[in-house]
Amino acid sequence: MVDIALKNLLHDKLRSAITIAGVAFAVTLVLVQTGLFLGVMDNASVVIDHTDADLWVTSHNTANIDFAQTFSEGAVDRVRSVPGVARADNLIVAFMNVALPNGATEGTEVYALDDFQRWGLPWDVHEGNVTDLQRGDYMFVDESATKRFGPFHVGEYREVLGRRLQIIGTTRHALSFTTSPVTFMNYRLAQMIQPTLLGGYTCYILVKLAQGADTTVVGREIARRLPYNDVHTKQGWAAQSRKYWIVSTGLGLSMYVTVFLGCLVGVVVVAQTLYTSTMEHWKEFGTVKAIGGNNADIYRILAKQALIAAVIGFVCGIVLSWGMAPLLTQLGLRLIMPLWLHGALFVGTIVFCLGAAAVSFHKVASIDPALVFRN
C-alpha cells in the first residue's frame, strides 16, 4: 500500500519542518516549564520528603516548612507520652545570617536537631560525619551554598550571627524554595546562637510511630493533647508546603498559563500547516473522492500526517529539553522530568495534533468531487 501521508510530508519538506518545529517547540516549552515547576515544588518539600517522620507537629497555622513559628520545646514530652509514638524530637528551622570572608552577609536556612542520623537528615552527605555535629560549634553546609557564600571547604570557619562555627561537612540536594542555602547544626547550638527567639522553643516536633500504630489515631491524640498546635502527616505537610508556594507566588497559575500557551502554539501550528496543506491538495483530495474514495480515506491521510508530525516533533522536543537540562542546572535551576510526565506529554501531543487535524476534516467533508472536471 502507498503511504501517501508520509510521501506528502517528505515531498513538502519545508512545511513538514515547520510543523515538526512547532510541535517540538510546544513539547519543549511544556516539558521544561513543567520540569522547572516540579523542581521548584520539590525544593519546597524536599526536606519533609526525606525526613524519616510519620507526623509533624507544627505551631498553629504554620503555612509551610520554611516559615516556621515557635512553641514551647516541652511539648515534645507530651508527644512522647502518646501511645503509638516510637520517638519524637524537636526540630528548629530558622533563618540566620552568615558573615562571609569578604565582609558581606548572607542568609541561611538552619535545620537544627539533636540527632540528625535518627531522622535521616541530611540524606545526601558529601563530606563529613553528621554525628560530629553534636560535639561542638560545627555545621554542615549544602554545596548549593557556593553560589551565595562563594567557595568554601571543610575545616573553614564562618560566623553565624556572630558565633564562629567550623564547617565539618557538606551535603547535596538540601534545598529550600526560598533559595536560601541550607545548613545543619545541633539543636542546642541553634538555641545558643539565637537565644531570644529560640531559647526554650522549638519550631516542629518530628514524630515516628511505633510499628503498627495508626497514623490517624495517634495524630488525633497528639492534637487533643496539644490543642494549640497542628498535626500533619508527612504527605499532608509536604503537600501543604508545596501548595503554599503554588498559590501565594502565582507559580501554579504561571505554570498553567505557560503549559496552555505551549499547547496552543502546538495546536495552532499543526492546524495551520495541515489546513494549508489540505487547501493545496484540494484537487487531489477531490480526485480521491471522484475515483470512489470517501471522506474517511482523506481523514486517514490528514490524521497520519498529524501523527507523524506529533511523534517526530515529540522526539525532537524531548531531545531539546534534555539538552537544555545541563544548561539550566548550571544556572542553578532544577529540572525534574519524570517518566510519567513524558508519557502524559506524549499522549497530549498525539491528542492535540489529531485535534488540530480535525480542523481540516471539516473542510475535507465539503470537497465536491465534481471539482475534478473544473480547470
Partner 1 sequence: MMQQIHNQWTIEATDITKVFREGDEVTHVLNGVSLALKAGEIVSLEGPSGSGKTTLLSVLGCILTPTSGRVTVAGELADPSRPRRLAAIRRQFIGFVFQQYNLFPALSVVENVEYALNVKGITRGSRAIAEAAVEAVGLNDRRRALPCDLSGGQKQRVAIARAIASRPPVLLVDEPTANLDSHVGGQILDTFHTLARQNNQSLLIVTHDPSVRRIVDRVITIRDGQFVS
For partner 1, the binding residues (CB under 8 A) are: 1-2, 4, 7-8, 10-12, 283-284, 286-294, 297, 369-370, 372-373, 375
Nearer to partner 1, 264 or 296 (CB): 296
Shortest separation between residue 374's beta carbon and partner 1, angstroms: 8
What SS3 state is found at 269?
A: helix
CB of 361 to partner 1, least distance (A): 18
Q: Give the nearest distance from C-beta 375 to partner 1 in angstroms.
A: 6
Residue appearing with cell numbers 564562618 = 158
CA 309 vs CA 20, 115, 234: distances in Å: 5, 56, 43
Query: Cβ closer to partner 1: 228 or 373?
Result: 373
Please state, as a whole number, how many other Cβ atoms lie within 10 Å of the Cβ of residue 355.
Answer: 14
Nearest approach in angstroms of CB 283 to partner 1 is 6
- DSSP helix/strand/coil, 86: strand
DSSP 335: -
Closest to partner 1 by CB, 10 or 86: 10
Could you give the 3-state DSSP secondary structure of residue 305?
helix
> What is the nearest approach in angstroms of partner 1 to the Cβ of residue 325?
37
Nearer to partner 1, 290 or 359 (CB): 290
Q: What is the enclosing helix (H) or strand (E) of 88?
A: strand 85-99
Closer residue to partner 1, CB minimum distance, 192 or 371: 371
Q: Is 282 helix (H, G, I), strand (E, B) or coil?
A: helix
C-beta separation of 112 from 190 below 8 A? yes
Q: Give the dihedral sign, CA 62/66/71/75.
A: positive
